[in-house]
Chain A
Amino acid sequence: MSEGLSYREALREAHRSALAGDARVFLMGLDVGAYGGTYAVSKGLFEEFGPLRVRDAPLSESGFVGAGIGAAMGGMRPIVEIMTVNFSLLALDQIVNVAATLRHMSGGQFSVPIVIRMVTGAGRQLAAQHSHSFDGWFAHVPGLRVVAPATVEDAGGMLSTAVDDPDPVIILEHNALYSTRSKVAPPLPPVPLEGAAVRRPGQHVSIIAYGGSVSKALQAASSLAQEGIEAEVIDLRSLRPLDSKTVLESVGRTSRAVVVDEMWKTGSLAAEIVAQIAEQAFYELDAPVARVCTEEVPIPYARHLELAALPDVSKIVSAVKGLFKGG
């Protein structure tokens, strides 16, 4: 086994310690039990904790998310895994109309301490029904916390914090991240569910990204540094609430911003961030704000078309260069 911990293992360890530390915690979802999870996050947990704590659910997202919400209201601490974000749409009613609203509608008498993990993003040739990004749709909804861990440390640490949170937390796990590794050892410390992070400091341009786009932004920044452009890379980490302060402060320093988002550009989370920059940092801008988003097509199956549709390092580099001389 390689050194350190993978994103997948960090999540597994966080599940393990949550299951071991709190009898109210259980994991539920499609193939999370005997099969070990579609992305092998829960591999071994079924054997370790048994079928009551690691529960295979029937193929009904609305049903098992709803059951999770009911269990949470009944005093349990469920973690529900949804195989891909595309399928979460079947449970959108439960998430938006029930989980997000009950604290408000009951005047604080009920809370819904559920964690809903879902796999998001493209890049694995899984075609249009398994590859989309709807991060901004969830980030739109008051009553939800939405996080998109981009690092091994955040994956494990945010899950631990989310399990203890008294309100519904959506964790968006980009499929390209499961095998990324970090030289850390379990147990990972809990990580707050709010606050963006500056992953690389720089003074010429802010590249704002989250989830699976952060590593692309960092690679673009390295490449730009060789040409004398020092990019600051902001990892949003939490999509709701958004840490606008960190974004605006960064743009205040650099006067330029490129937002990277795997959503389609129209109505994307990037659109919200650009709007906030325009509203609150207009006079700091030295160039128009740019976005690198997914092309407005259902994600293609063909490898070359899929790659062409997605944000990548060279698109980020050229968007950044477009904000400078001769751009």
Chain B
Amino acid sequence: MADFRMPSLGADMEDLSLVEWKVAPGDAVRRGDVIAVVETDKSAVEIEVFDSGVVGEILVQAGSSVPAGTILATIETGESSSPSASPPVEAPAAGESPAPVEAPPAPVPGPVPKRVRMSPAARKLARELGIAEEGLQGSGPRGAVTREDILAAAEAGKQGPQAGMRKAISAAMSRANREIPHYYLSSTIDLSPSTEWLKAHNADRPPEDRLLIGALLIKAVAMAVRKVPELNGHYIDGAFRSSERVHVGMAVALRQGGVIAPAIFDADQCTLEELMRRLKDMVSRAREGRIRGSELTDASITITSLGDRGCDEVFGIINPPQVAMIGFGGIRQGPWVLDGAVVPRDLVTASLSADHRVSDGHRGARFQATLAKRLQEPEKL
């Protein structure tokens, strides 16, 4: 038996509202299944279960607000009784010819994603207004979401969540600025090797397969931070814990205002193509409000980029409990001295905001140098 708890979804988010159960008692669940939706001050977040088993008792009903840590449901994880537990896999003994592959037991169907019961007019209006369907409460016949519900959600969206998000950002950033002794380093990097490599790489690829420079920057940061683990991890209760894995949070500005920074897990292990795919997916899901809880909480370092807005440099405030924030300004052509001659090159200014409780400028500079070096060798990213 395991407890399924309301996760902590970020700094200073105390009241979290459980908006939807995607499972009912008796449903089989597997680790990683999304089984509930929680509305935070920032957005609706899909919550995964960390245990496989069968949903026991639902302890908190949809619609209630509870603090992080509250037990929401119990998961029966009894080894033998669990229909979804995989049988232990035995490695075939050396020399033994592999047994004919048996058909695997029929997979226990996961909870079928429930289509929101919604009138055609409401669905059309929701699309026009960019209202996410998930988590809407219907007031129509048999609980169907109606146009009125969409208009109400749009109205609430104008005031509630946005005000809520401002409040959440305000709380987290005030705390970060109050408690974290930031230091800042900035380096201008010759990005031409990367941009030229990218141009050649993309030349014979259809637009949907092309890479953007952002994928190279993320990979370079993820690889560089491996060399300086003091920048990758979490500072909790007076102690720094370095993270084994590199989960890069990407600050994404939301259309309705505000910003969230969902993580790309194991960014250092991803190919550039994989990073590109996940980046696109992440940005579109962030803007649709379909980010998973773990993606919001598990980043070990964050990147922010305001280059496309024309800024040359950005010095971010660290997103606690992380200890570093990397900022990229815009890529611009500028004079650069190469082999004694001034030549036009593609330049970018990378900045590091780091937590002085954990690292010193010397280590930060090491990171900056490593990052610059990585971007000189794009073929190795």
Number of interface residues, chain A, beta carbon within 8 A? 14
Query: Which chain B residues lie closer than 8 Å to A322 at the CB level?
Result: 141
A284 within 8 A of B: yes
Q: Is A191 an interface residue (CB 8 A)?
A: no
Known: A286-B146, A286-B147, A287-B146. A324 touches B141 (CB 8 A): yes
A285, B120: Cβ atoms closer than 8 Å: yes
Residue of B nearest to A255 (CB): B121
Bound CA span A255–B118, Å: 13
Given contacts A283-B124, A286-B147, contact A327 B119 (CB under 8 A): no
The reply to whether B119 and A285 form a contact with Cβ atoms under 8 Å apart is yes
Is A325 positioned at the interface, with any CB of B under 8 Å from its CB? Answer: yes
Minimum distance in angstroms from B118 CB to a CB of chain A: 10
Q: Which residues of A contact B139 (CB under 8 A)?
A: 325
Question: By the criterion CB–CB under 8 Å, are A323 and B141 in contact?
Answer: yes
Q: Does A282 contact B (CB under 8 A)?
A: yes
Contact B121 A325 (CB under 8 A): no
Using a Cβ cutoff of 8 Å, how many contacts connect chains A and B?
38
Interface of A is mostly: loop
A288 to B144, CA, bound (A): 10
> What range describes how many residues of B lie at the interface?
10 to 19
By a CB distance below 8 angstroms, the chain B residues around A255 are 119, 121, 147
Instruction: Write the nearest CB–CB distance from B152 to chain A, whole angstroms.
Output: 13
Q: Does B380 contact A (CB under 8 A)?
A: no
**B 137-152 binary contact with A (CB < 8 Å = 1; else 0):** 0011110101110000
B141/A283 in contact, CB under 8 A: no
Give Cα A282 to B124, complex, Å. 10
Interface members, chain B 139-190 (any A CB < 8 Å): 139-142, 144, 146-148
Chain A proximity of B170: nearest CB distance (Å): 37
Cα A325 to Cα B119 in complex, Å, equals 13
Which of A284, A324, A326, A327 is the one whose CB lies under 8 Å from B121?
A284
Which B positions have Cβ atoms within 8 angstroms of A? 119-124, 139-142, 144, 146-148
What are 30 inter-chain pairs, A to B, with CB distance below 8 A? A255-B119, A255-B121, A255-B147, A282-B120, A283-B121, A283-B123, A283-B124, A284-B120, A284-B121, A285-B121, A286-B119, A286-B120, A286-B121, A286-B122, A286-B140, A286-B146, A286-B147, A286-B148, A287-B140, A287-B144, A287-B146, A322-B141, A323-B140, A323-B141, A324-B140, A324-B141, A325-B139, A325-B140, A326-B141, A327-B142
Query: A: which residues have CB within 8 A of B?
Result: 255, 282-288, 322-327
